Structures are given as structure tokens and as C-alpha cells.
Structure 1
Amino acid sequence: MTKQRSHTFPSPKKMIYQYIAEHGTLSKADLLSTFTLTSSTLSRVLDELVLEKLLLTIGLGPSSGGRRPILYEINPNYGYFFGLEISRRYSSLGFFDMQMNAKSFTRWRMDETMTPAQLVEFVAANVRAFLNDHQIDQEQIIGVGIGAVGPLDRVNGVILRPLNFPASGWNDVPICALLAKRLSIPTTMLENGANTALVGEHWSMRKDNLQHLLYVHAGVGLRSAMMSNGQIVHGTIDMEGSVGQMIIQTDGPRLQDQGNFGALEAFVSVQALEKKAISHAKLGRGDLITNYHVSPEQINYDHLLQALAQDNEYAREIFLQSSVYFGIGLANLINVFHPEKVILGGALVNSHEQYYQTAIEIAQKNTYYYPEYQPLFSKGLLKEDAVATGAALMVWRAMDI
């Protein structure tokens, strides 16, 4: 397992490599206008990167009066990465080249059989399948990045005490060590999934040069991540789900036997909607029992989604109420962090376009300095692939060059 590294200033060689990776095909003149290096030093660095096969020369660019310049781009086949998302409802595995092109992706439901041991075996089988499909040797794999539900011990690669996994055994799981041993891949890195999702989305939007971003995922639980000056903001401890404990109604309900009364998660989460629907059904409200031939205790989120898709009045009502509370929570976060852009994801955000739009409208109405200050809102470009993509990107950025 590779432990998380402290932030150090990268070498000129790594900065040049990453700059080319982020901006595509470039010439030496393009790089000289960006970096404070002499022409001879830059030539030496570029020659080293080409010799090490990290960079490719792909021809000559147009002349600006002298000789046509050599064009450089990163070698997509120098090595490969896996990005793994571990979440409560669904998990996914992506396979990426050096240009962060997704060569393969698979996604699966997390049910009561998906224990840590089962997940490791499932991931190993898919890793073998991906390598066979693309005829790539195991030795070409640089590492595996993992974006997981917290809380985490990122330094030691351990998933600590996450709530609400359908399967048992998810407490104190040394996931990096387990995968490194099973896959025989030396580099494994762990980060919370909200952070890797934001890293992935930021990469996909890199041409927009956004520096201050907020990411909020509303699903089984609430998760958030913040980026300032292009860097993920880490707290003293890793508690990505703590945004769900934001109190929005002091005398409000409590979702679990722990946590705050009147917390956001009690209104905005898959569990909150299921809990409300079950309670209402026991009181004879709604028509889910009749429509789906289930007892109140058997009502689940899939029933609610199906009813919403069928324009069921009761389902529309409880999703609408949830989206209003979600908008209030977003406004609170926006008023604290003042992001340029807010990226929203998760099962609730994607349940219906009206949920997403209502949350945005409420957030905007309660944003201080609105309309002078109006952050942009988006579901992102990568969407459900963001967590795994960002996890792979984390390993790519940490590699030695």
C-alpha cells in the first residue's frame, strides 16, 4: 500500500509533464511562455520525458516564421490505472490510460452479499477481465485509486465505521492492503468518494479554469467536498458525511439513533424518504401499498422511484418536500464557502429533473448577495463515473516522474 504523501512542490519535470497532460498537444514555445525555464533546460527535460516514453513527439506544428516546432503529447500507453468507487447502493470500477481516457467501466449493485471479501474478489475478477480484453500486461498497471464512503483513515488505507451498508463486515476494513495483496499491484490509495468525485469533475472541466468548487452528493446519505484554489480542502478528521448533520430545524426529527435532531439527513436522504413513506403507509396515507402489493415495512426507495416515474401524486409530494430542504442546506453551504460552481450528484438529484431544479431555485433564493452573486449549478460531466475517475486521477498525480 502506498500511504498518502504530504504536499510538496513538484519538480519542473513533473510540472511540465502534467501541464502537457492537462492541455493536450503543445510545442516547446508554448511551454516557454508558461514556465520560467531556460530554453536549454526545457529541451533537456523534454528529451528526458521522451526518452523515458512518458511523452511522444507527434509531428511538427505550423511555422511562425522559422522552423516548424516539434509537438509533444503524453504517451497514453505508458501505463494504466484502475479507479474503484465503494458506495452503499452501487459501486464501480474504471480502467484508464495515462490520458485518463476510460477504456472500460463496470457498475454493480451493493446488496447484502457484497461483503468486503466478496467485493475484493469481484474487483479482482473484473481487473483480470479488463486486462484480457485490452491485452495489457499486469506489469503495466501503475496503481489503484479508491474513492469510498467514510469515515476513513486515508493514511493507512482503512475504511473505518461507515453506516448503512447492506452487507455486514464493513467496519475497520484495510481495503488498500486487501486489494494490493489480491491484485499484486503495489500502489493503492484511498480517499473519500466525495473528494474523488470532485477531483474527477474538476479534471473534466479543466478548460474552464475553475478554482472554487462545491460538490454535494445526496443519496443513502449526504456527502460533500470542497475545492479552494484548485485543491481539495481536508479537515482535521475525515468525516465526509458530516454535512448531513447540519441542523435545519431545531425541533425536527432524527434519522437514526445517533446524530442530530432536525439534521439535513432526516429530510434529504434515501433513508429519510423510505422512513417517511413507511410511516405514512401505516397511517393509511398514500397508495403505495395498494399499487405495489407490499406491507408498509416493505416499501423501499425503488418503489418510490417507480411511483415518481409514473407521476404518482404522493411520490411527487414527498420528493418535492425533500428537494426544498435540500435547497436550504445548499444555501447554507454556499453562504459559507462562496463557490464558483456547485456540482450535485447522487440518487436523489438524479431521481427527477424537478428535484434538481427545485433545489437550485430554493438555494438561489436563500443565497446571500443574490442576484449579484450567483454560483453556477451542474450535475457534472462525469456524473456516476466521477468517483472512480477521480480515484484513478489521484494515483496518476501521485506517481513519480
Structure 2
Amino acid sequence: MNVDIITERIPNRKAKEIYERICRQTTVSKTELLEQSGMTVSTLTRLLEELTVQGLILESGFGASTGGRRPILYEKNPAYAYVFGLEISRTLSKLVLVDLGMKKLDTKSWTMTAEMTPDVLIRLIVEEVKRMLAAHHLHSSSVLGIGIGAVGPVDRLSGTILEPSYFPAKGWRNVEICRQLTGELGIPALLDNGANTAILAESWHQRTQSFRHLLYIHAGIGLRSSMVSEGKVIYGAVDMEGSVGQMIIQTDGVAHRNTSGNYGALESYASLYAIEKAARSALKQGRSTVLSHLVDDPEQVTYLHVLEALKKNDPLVVEIITEAATYFGIGLANLLNILHPEKVILGGPLIAGGELFFQTATQVAIRKTYYYPAYQVVFSKGQLGEEALAIGAAVMVMDQLVRL
């Protein structure tokens, strides 16, 4: 099913412009829309009437009077339609049902085990979509579509997950996820990599603020990045999601765990893999650490064990996390010196694991940023946390309403 079916819900280009302006603001008056759009009163009046009749916008009361009649206020109608957002990651996949105000109505998560092949996950997703629709008394005709934020690389145009690394289950190669879900559910499906959907969610959440250039980095099993400028995701010639992890920070450094990776790549120093490797190595060396009481075999150490030791302020683990965060901060400084974003949003397990990694990394990045303090960048953990990828996938579908 072609996604044009979403785009065509608002066929008029000027109507799309007005709808987008209303969506970007909590409420807005007709006077403000006139000033922002430069349209004539008659044109704007007609477009507002059309959007209201369609149910896309609502009259939401009156604004303050400036001497004459109080202006009518308009807002987006969140109940016009509903959207599914789906995250497919290496450790967890998550489905959310939201309205057009991105209010979460329902959610379901699955752990990505060695048994979670594409066929198994798709079957579970289809069953859950049908359950959610029934539970909330919704017909599929009221659903705009399902957005998917997946581990890259992906082919957005064909809706295919290409060759992602490190999935626990087999079969995650050239998965035509959009075609399969549309065939099973009869609703449009859109795909992008998870870093892009996450930054879409954060950008939408902060839409009333003045930040124009946002950088997002997800630090977990690998490193994933994306950037938004003027509300639009920046795309390269190919899917760039995991490229930041291949940034070389030491030319004769550690060999990458994947033979196609670079020596001295950032990912080899600042990732779950790198931290677990360092912890296992320290245990084998006989270093004194709380970790030795948590596992019998050094090879059994996981990031969860590291976090448990960190909570006890274990000196070895503090050292390992600080070193990984320092390398991450160096990579982050490189990005700041090239891209100069106004705000950097950091997410993923390494960021969620505690303040030590976040604070160390951002302090190192600031010290190594060329134009600091003249260039001031804001660092944030984001507002949506673990929901960002799935919510952003829903935002991606919603944005098709205003696509030309």
C-alpha cells in the first residue's frame, strides 16, 4: 500500500502549510497565522474551514483581545487519526499506539532473543496491532499507518532492513518489513533507521523551542547518530546510522570486532561491547572488584553486572566507565567541531546507566570543542527516554500529512 494515501489526505499545498503551522504550535490564532503565512484573509479563512470540516483541526476557544473581537484559537485535532510506532532494536522491540498528539494509548515490548527471527516478530506485531485496535474500539480506517525505526542499515524507499549486525536471532538480512506488515494489516508502513526516528521524536517534543539544529547519538551495543536541521532529518547518499561508530580516534588502535570495521574506531572504546570486554579482561588479570562476587566466570560478565558494581561505587568499574566516557567525549567533540549543532541529545543504555558516563563525556567534549565558550551547545538526555525510537516512528508517519 503506497504511503501517498496519507499524503493525499490534505491535497492542497497551502492547506498543508497551515496545518503544519498549527501542528508546530500548541494553539494559534487566525491573526498569528495571517502574519506567519502572508496569505490573504479570504484564502486563510477558506483553508481553516476546510481543515475544520475534515476534522484535522479544532477551534479551541478565544485568545486575548487587542482592542477588537477576541480571535479564535486553533489547534490540531489529536483524535483525527491514530498511528502505530514500532522500534526494532538488537535487545528490545517495542510497539506503541498513539493519537496525533503523540499521546501514548497502548504499548507492548518484546525481548530480542535467539528465537526472535523476523517471521516470529512480525507475527507477534500483527497480533498485537489487532489486539490494540480491538481494545481501543478503533477501525483500521482510522489508522494513518505504522512507522518503523529499525537498526540500520535500511533502505527507506523499498522498506527493507538490509544487513544489521549483532542481532541475537538469525534471518535479519534483507527483511522487507514494510511489504510484510502492509500485507498483513492493510495499512501503510514506513521505515527509517532508529536514530533518525529518535531524533524526530525529540525534535517534535521540542517543536515550540528555538533549537534549529539537533544532533542525536545513541550509545549502546553500537553507536548510532542522526541530525535534524530546521525540523528535517539530514540524509546522506547511503544510510549513515552506524557510521559514527567507525570514527577513527587512534589509527593504530584496537581492532574492530567486525573484520570490516576500522582499527581504532570509536565503537571499540565506547560501547557496551567495549565496556564488557574491559571488565572481563580486568577480572582475568585478577583485579580487585565487586564483579568477582557477581560472576564465577569472567566471560559471564555483562553490562548489567557492570551497572550493579557501579551502584556500589566499585573503583575498577568507575575506572572502566570513565575511560569509555572519555573516548566517547573525544568522538563527540569531533562531531561538534564539524557540525556545530545547537543541542545534542544523548540516548541509549550507556547514557541511561548513570550520571558518570554522561557527565564525563560531555565535560570532555566541551573542553575539546574549538570555539568554546563562544560556541555554546546544550547537552540533554532527551525527554522521551526509551520511548523515543517508537514515538519517532509514529511522528514519521504523521509528518506524511504535510509532505508535498
Q: What TM-score comes out, normalization by structure 1 length?
A: 0.94
Structure 1 residue 233 and structure 2 residue 242: aligned? no
Amino acid at match of 2:123: E
1:242 corresponds to which residue? Answer: 243
Q: CA deviation at 1:290?
A: 3.2
Flag the 1:61–1:229 CA change in 2: closer, same or farther, 3 A: closer
SS of 2:109's equivalent in the other structure is: strand
Asked if 1:148 corresponds to 2:154, the answer is no
Q: Structure 2: which amino acid aligns with 1:317? A: E
- 1:151·1:238 contact (CA, 8 Å) conserved in 2? yes
Of 215-224 and 133-142, the range deviating more from structure 2: 133-142
Query: 1:87 aligned to 2:89?
Result: yes
Q: Secondary structure at the match of 2:350?
A: coil
Task: Tell me, in whole angstroms, the C-alpha distance in 2 between the residues paired with 1:324 and 1:259.
Answer: 21
Counterpart CA distance in 2 for 1:37 and 1:400 is 18
Given the superposition, is the C-alpha separation of residues 166 and 144 from structure 1 closer, same or farther in structure 2, using an over 3 Å criterion? same
- Taking the aligned partners of 1:80 and 1:95, their CA distance within structure 2 comes to 7
Q: Residue 293 of structure 1 aligns with which residue?
A: 295
Does the CA-based 8 Å contact 1:96-1:392 persist in structure 2?
A: yes
Q: List aligned pairs for 1:1-400, cutoff 5 A.
A: 1-2=1-2, 11-185=13-187, 187-256=188-257, 257-287=259-289, 290-399=292-401
**TM-fit CA distance, 1:60:** 3.6
Q: Where in structure 2 are there 5+ consecutive unaligned residues?
A: none
Aligned partners of 2:244 and 2:401: how far apart in 1?
Answer: 32
Per the alignment, in what secondary structure is the counterpart of residue 138 of structure 2?
coil
3-state SS of the aligned residue for 1:96?
A: strand
Q: How far off its partner does 1:312 sit?
A: 1.9
2:73 alignment partner AA? L
User: Percentage identity across aligned positions?
Assistant: 48
1:324/1:358 contact within 8 Å kept? yes
Post-superposition CA distance 1:17-60 (Å, at most 9, x none): 11112212222212111111111111111111111111222344
- Whether the 8 Å contact between 2:30 and 2:71 is mirrored in structure 1 is yes
Residue 172 of structure 1: how far off its partner (Å): 0.8
- Opposite residue 50 of structure 1, the aligned amino acid is T
Q: Per the alignment, in what secondary structure is the counterpart of residue 208 of structure 1? A: coil
Which is further off, 236-245 or 292-301? 292-301
Q: How many residues align?
A: 398
Structural RMSD (CA): 2.1
Three-state SS of the structure 1 residue aligned to 2:73 is: strand
Quote the Cα distance in structure 2 between the aligned partners of 1:60 and 1:235: 44
Q: State the Cα deviation string for residues 180-232 of structure 1 (Å, max 9, x = none).
A: 122221x1111111111111101111121211111111100000111223321
Question: Could you tell me whether the CA contact under 8 Å between 1:150 and 1:161 is conserved in 2?
Answer: yes
Aligned amino acid, residue 139 of structure 2: D
After superposing the two structures, state which structure 1 stretch, 281-290 or 250-259, moved more: 281-290
CA drift at 1:103: 1.9
Greater alpha carbon shift after TM alignment, 26-35 vs 139-148: 26-35
SS at match of 2:24: helix
- Aligned residue for 2:36, secondary structure, equals coil
Report the more deviating stretch, 236-245 or 298-307. 298-307
Bigger shift: 355-364 or 43-52?
Answer: 43-52
* 331-340 or 116-125, larger mean C-alpha shift: 116-125
Query: Does the 8 Å CA contact 1:116/1:173 hold for their aligned counterparts?
Result: yes
Separation in 1 of the partners of 2:391 and 2:279?
A: 35
8 Å contact from structure 2 (residues 85, 147) kept in 1: yes
| Partner SS for 1:37 | coil
- Where does structure 1 lack aligned partners over 5 or more consecutive residues? none
Distance in 2 of aligned mates of 1:29 and 1:252: 60
SS of aligned partner of 1:348? helix
Moved more, 160-169 or 95-104: 95-104
d(CA) in 1 for partners of 2:366, 2:12: 39
Answer yes or no: is the 8 Å Cα contact 2:15–2:47 preserved in 1: yes
SS at match of 1:380: coil
CA distance in 2: counterparts of 1:236 and 1:75, whole angstroms: 36
Mapped partners of 1:194, 1:259: distance in 2: 20
Q: Deviations over 1:82-135 (max 9, x none)?
A: 111111122222211122222223333222122111211222232223223322
Residues 2, 189 of structure 1: 8 Å contact kept: no
Q: Distance in 2 between matches of 1:292 and 1:276?
A: 16
Relative distance call for 1:203 and 1:40 in structure 2 (3 A) is: same
The range that moved more, 137-146 or 360-369, is: 137-146
Q: 54-63 or 391-400: which moved more?
A: 54-63
TM-score, reference length from structure 2:
0.93
Residue 206 of structure 1 aligns with an amino acid whose one-letter code is R
2-structure distance, mates of 1:104, 1:22? 24
Q: Do the aligned residues in 2 keep the contact of 1:79 with 1:142 (CA within 8 Å)?
A: yes
**1:318 partner letter:** I
Corresponding residue SS for 2:37:
coil
* TM-fit CA distance, 1:286: 4.7
